Amino acid sequence: MNSTVRTIPFVKASACGNDFLLIDGALAPHDVAGFTRRICDRHNGVGADGVEWMIPHFTADVEIRLVNADGTAAEISGNGTRCVAAYVCAQLGKERISILTGAGMKICQLTSRLDSEYEFEIEMGEAVVETEVVLKVGAGEVRGVPVSMGNPHFVTFVHEFATNWQAQAAEIQRNPRFQQGVNIELVAVDSKFDVRARFFERGVGETQSSGTGSCAAAVAAMATGRAVSPVKVQAPGGSQTVRTNGSKVFLRGPARLVCRGEFFLS
């Protein structure tokens, strides 16, 4: 091995199959977007839905800046934040962890731990739920509820998921209404307390799960009378629970530290 080859250490973590690389922000190369695309590539890199760049902060345990797999910046990932909380818990032994995100300060409370498996509940702040809107798409019209969890979402309710749901979600995502991009949630309601969801995220595409997407799905279901708190959101990667307390939204779910390694820059 050439000792002059520069490497960047990383930790890989996963929250319900939504995977992230956690990297010290001081090690970020000049072209952060290009590097993030390389390391997140699932064939020629490590593979991930995004990188959480971790930066020391004087009022929080850590500040994080999320860059999606395509190199675009995002305000927050609920699952990515939980992955960082697991890392901080492992490093410092803290059970209440403050993380400054692009969508504000988030407090992560450890609820259980077994080896490298963690469960946290995060206070996600307040959701902004708009009234249902109708969008024109190639196949006709689609109804959905715009939701902000500090990042933009569009929740559409379905009876079941079509075989080509990813193409449908991508078409909604390209609608001119969403100038800053949007995360798409397709949601099937099974009961007042249980929904199933599929996620198609900005800068990533289909993901196995989404923390802010689960919150958006649950609060949209509550706002339209389809569900009541707490709501279990089942996704291909696993389930998370969303509850409300007044205007505050809380997200509970697992995070797992997968591995650590070094990525060669040349």
pLDDT bin (cut points 50, 70, 90) of residue 80 is very high
At residue 2, the pLDDT reads: 59
Same fold, 7-124+253-264 and 128-250: yes
Predicted local confidence at residue 4, as pLDDT: 75
**pLDDT on residue 3:** 63
Buried b (16+ CB within 10 A) or exposed e, 79-111: bbbbbbbbbbbeeeeeeebbbbbebeebbbebe
Q: What is the pLDDT of residue 138?
A: 82
User: What is the amino acid identity at position 168?
Assistant: Q
Q: Dump pLDDT digits (tens) for 151-174.
A: 999 999 999 999 999 999 999 999
CA distances from 149 to 75, 128, 166, 198, 213 (A): 10, 7, 22, 17, 8
pLDDT of 1 strictly over 60: no
* pLDDT value, residue 101: 98
CA distance 79 to 22: 12
Say whether pLDDT at 243 is over 70. yes
Please give the average per-residue pLDDT across 179-193, as a whole number: 97
What's the N-to-C CA distance of the chain in angstroms?
A: 12
- How far is the C-alpha of 242 from the C-alpha of 250, rounded, in Å? 6
The pLDDT, as a whole number, for residue 66 is 98
Cα–Cα dist 189/181, whole Å:
25
Q: For 195-206, what is each residue's pLDDT tens digit?
A: 999 999 999 999
- Residues 193-216 have a mean pLDDT of 98
- What is the average per-residue pLDDT within 5-13? 95
pTM of the model: 0.95
What's the rounded mean pLDDT across residues 140-151? Answer: 96
Give the residue from 235, 265, 243, 240 showing the smallest Cα distance to 254.
240
Q: How much is the pLDDT for 7?
A: 95
Q: Are 169 and 186 in contact (CB under 8 A)?
A: yes
Q: Residue range 97-115: average pLDDT? A: 97
Q: What is the average per-residue pLDDT within 62-67? A: 98
- Phi and psi at 87, nearest 5°, equal -65, -45
Return the pLDDT at 36. 98
Please report the pLDDT score of residue 5 as a whole number: 83
Instruction: Give the pLDDT score at 139.
Output: 73
Task: Please name the CATH architecture into which domain 128-250 falls.
Answer: Roll (3.10)
Which CATH superfamily does the domain covering 7-124+253-264 fall into?
A: Diaminopimelate Epimerase; Chain A, domain 1 (3.10.310.10)
From the centroid of its chain, how far is CA 139? 29
Residues 34, 23: Cα–Cα separation, whole Å: 15
Q: Where are the domains of the chain?
A: 7-124+253-264, 128-250
